[in-house]
């Protein structure tokens, strides 16, 4: 089974930046890859998608602040997050929407002063 490992989260002040990484134990070259997030007491929500060809789509609340990218040779997906807001606080997860692998542990992002 494919394993997903998210990293790069942490505590950051409002307006700060973080770069999240998603390491996948198998090839991702054929798959679109997504980032999701889940805040306490809320459902998991879509954040960003990058297709196998490199096209991207974002949730409205990103408003140009986040950038998703991929490195197929390394089987990794990234999420560059800039101008972070307190409402971005959540556990962030990655997955392939077409196959729905077992969720990884996620990485905690906390935006607070």
pLDDT at residue 94, rounded to an integer: 98
pLDDT at residue 63, rounded to an integer: 75
Burial per residue of 24-58, b for 16 or more beta-carbon CB atoms within 10 angstroms, e otherwise: beeebeebbbbbbbeeeeeeeeebbbbeeeeeeeb
Percentage above 70 pLDDT, the chain:
100
pLDDT at residue 18, rounded to an integer: 98
Instruction: Dump pLDDT digits (tens) for 92-102.
Output: 999 999 999 99
Instruction: Dump pLDDT digits (tens) for 68-113.
Output: 999 999 999 999 999 999 999 999 999 999 999 999 999 999 999 9
């Amino acid at each position: 089974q494919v394993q997903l490992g998210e990293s790069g989260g942490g505590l950051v002040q409002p307006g700060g930046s973080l770069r999240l990484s998603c390491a996948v134990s198998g090839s991702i070259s054929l798959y679109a890859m997504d980032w999701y997030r889940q805040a306490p007491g809320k459902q998991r929500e879509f954040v960003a998608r990058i297709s196998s060809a490199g096209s991207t789509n974002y949730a409205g609340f990103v408003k140009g602040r986040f950038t998703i990218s991929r490195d197929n040779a390394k089987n990794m997906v990234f999420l560059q997050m800039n101008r972070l807001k307190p409402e971005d606080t959540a556990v962030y997860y990655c997955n392939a929407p077409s196959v729905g692998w077992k969720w990884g542990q996620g990485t905690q992002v906390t935006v607070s002063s």
